[in-house]
């Protein structure tokens, strides 16, 4: 899902110039400094206001062909208009959010893999940005491209579920695109089996939903003896059976989807485990300013040379500084899936070449985090900070 923030100000121009400086370890490869940008806005009272802040470089990745075919002429003309930059505004998220809240304006949010209203991504977007308007995207890639093309200001995407595990596609897209993680939301997932009003659950012959939702309700669906069919999203499944009046077909979706599309809930809370939680990330063109006055989390990705104890050394840079790791994920590199190593005793050997994704509880404004990454960079062949952002400390709800 993608979100668009509309503070009521008109963008006049963006003036950028480079910041010269070194990372804490004296190197310039982590991209912590970037550019300084002055944003000139025109308020409704014709008073000009300039905002200065620091930001990293924007993405240069093109949008996918499939997404470009879906983009409206308005979106295409915005990219062609040279008076407006091709990529995102700099980091003034908190300024805009504060202005919008004080002025009573609406935030527009776009979320990926959320084809229609009533999906869980929409609920996550509403939790992150209560005053927002959701803009649905059919595919994960489309949400990334929507932010990069200036069609929206935020993207909200699921990255892991307590039952289904990690959503690997979004980890790959985080590396491919140059968006920044600016927040997270943990949302309790409560699945319902729904159908056309008047239909009993025993009459159902098949159930449609997102593959993750079907997998999370496997025990219940197996007992019902129904055929399972996967679709793009949960709420889209509910909309489909309502639009076509399919009396032999049920959907697994949220209670709100049943309400929106006039369906009747046949079974409530059918997930295999009641503690079913999905973690969503908020993505933006520019990072938020790291702080130390509240709980922050930082996400990074890096690669290592093959060798004994190398991963242990990488993880020890955090343990030595009492930094708690909340997630470790490994993904084979697409461009270099295998590495051939010449062993003089046994000949050549082939190893998977991995990317390591790590989340840890510390802000990049914390000296411990800066020193840990400086230490890690001494033996990492590649290192990139995906984002340093506030942790979701609120109670989870379905």
Mean pLDDT (the chain) is 75
CATH 3.30.70.260 region(s) of the chain?
A: 288-341+349-390
Q: What would the two tokens of residue 332 be?
A: 């084979």
Q: Which residues are catalytic?
A: 278, 280
CATH 3.40.190.10 region(s) of the chain?
A: 108-188, 191-275
Residues 301-309: what's their mean pLDDT? 88
CATH class of this structure's domain 108-188: alpha beta
For the ranges 4-18, 74-88, 114-128, 326-340, the lowest mean pLDDT is seen at: 74-88
Indicate the DSSP class of residue 387: E
Express each pLDDT in 307-353 by its tens digit.
888 999 999 999 999 999 999 999 888 666 555 545 545 545 455 67
**Model pTM score:** 0.70
Only one residue has tokens 């599309």, namely 261
First to last CA, the chain: 18
Could you tell me where the DSSP H helices lie in 207-325? 211-216, 218-224, 234-244, 255-260, 310-319
For the ranges 150-154, 156-160, 199-203, 349-353, the lowest mean pLDDT is seen at: 349-353
3-state secondary structure of 79: helix
Q: Where is pLDDT greater, at 361 or 7? A: 361
Closest listed residue to residue 235, CA positions, set 282, 184, 191: 191
Express each pLDDT in 267-283 by its tens digit.
999 999 888 999 999 99
For the ranges 38-42, 84-88, 198-202, 216-220, the lowest mean pLDDT is seen at: 84-88
CATH class of this structure's domain 191-275: alpha beta
Q: What would the two tokens of residue 224 be?
A: 């019902």
Q: What would the two tokens of residue 225 be?
A: 């003896």
Residues 107-119: what's their mean pLDDT? 60
In this prediction, residue 396 carries a pLDDT of: 57
Closest listed residue to residue 316, CA positions, set 226, 255, 376, 244: 376
In this prediction, residue 109 carries a pLDDT of: 52
| Domain 288-341+349-390, CATH | 3.30.70.260
Residues 116-136: what's their mean pLDDT? 87
């Amino acid at each position: 899902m993608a979100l668009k923030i509309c503070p009521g100000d008109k963008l006049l121009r963006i003036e950028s110039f480079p910041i010269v400086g070194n990372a804490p370890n004296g190197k310039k490869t982590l991209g912590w400094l970037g550019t300084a940008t002055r944003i000139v806005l025109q308020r409704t009272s014709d008073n000009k206001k300039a905002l200065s802040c620091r930001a990293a470089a924007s993405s240069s990745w093109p949008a996918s062909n499939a997404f470009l075919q879906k983009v409206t002429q308005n979106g295409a003309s915005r990219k062609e208009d040279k008076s407006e930059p091709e990529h995102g505004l700099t980091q003034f998220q908190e300024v805009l959010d504060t202005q919008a809240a004080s002025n009573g304006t609406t935030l527009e949010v776009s979320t990926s893999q959320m084809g229609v209203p009533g999906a869980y991504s929409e609920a996550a977007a509403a939790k992150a940005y209560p005053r927002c308007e959701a803009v649905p995207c059919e595919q994960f890639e489309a949400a990334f491209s929507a932010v990069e093309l200036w069609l929206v200001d935020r993207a909200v995407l699921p990255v892991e579920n307590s039952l289904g595990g990690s959503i690997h596609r979004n980890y790959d897209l985080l590396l491919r695109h140059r968006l920044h993680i600016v927040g997270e939301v943990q949302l309790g997932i409560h699945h319902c089996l729904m159908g056309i009003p008047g239909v009993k659950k025993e009459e159902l012959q098949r159930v449609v939903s997102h593959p993750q939702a079907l997998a999370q309700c496997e025990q219940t669906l197996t007992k019902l003896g129904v055929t399972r069919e996967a679709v793009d999203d949960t709420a889209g499944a509910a909309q489909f059976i309502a639009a076509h009046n399919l009396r032999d077909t049920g959907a697994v979706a949220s209670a709100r989807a049943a309400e929106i599309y006039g369906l009747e809930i046949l079974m409530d809370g059918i997930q295999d485990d009641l503690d079913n939680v999905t973690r969503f990330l908020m993505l933006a063109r520019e990072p938020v300013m790291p702080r130390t006055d509240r709980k922050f989390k930082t996400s990074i990705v890096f690669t290592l040379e093959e060798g004994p104890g190398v991963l242990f050394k990488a993880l020890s840079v955090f343990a030595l500084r009492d930094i708690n790791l909340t997630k470790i994920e490994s993904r084979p590199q697409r461009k270099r899936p295998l590495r051939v190593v010449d062993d003089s005793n046994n000949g050549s050997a082939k190893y998977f070449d991995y990317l390591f994704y790590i989340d840890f509880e510390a802000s990049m404004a914390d000296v411990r985090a800066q020193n840990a990454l400086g230490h890690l960079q001494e033996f990492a062949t590649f290192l990139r900070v995906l984002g340093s952002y506030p942790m979701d400390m609120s109670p989870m709800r379905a």
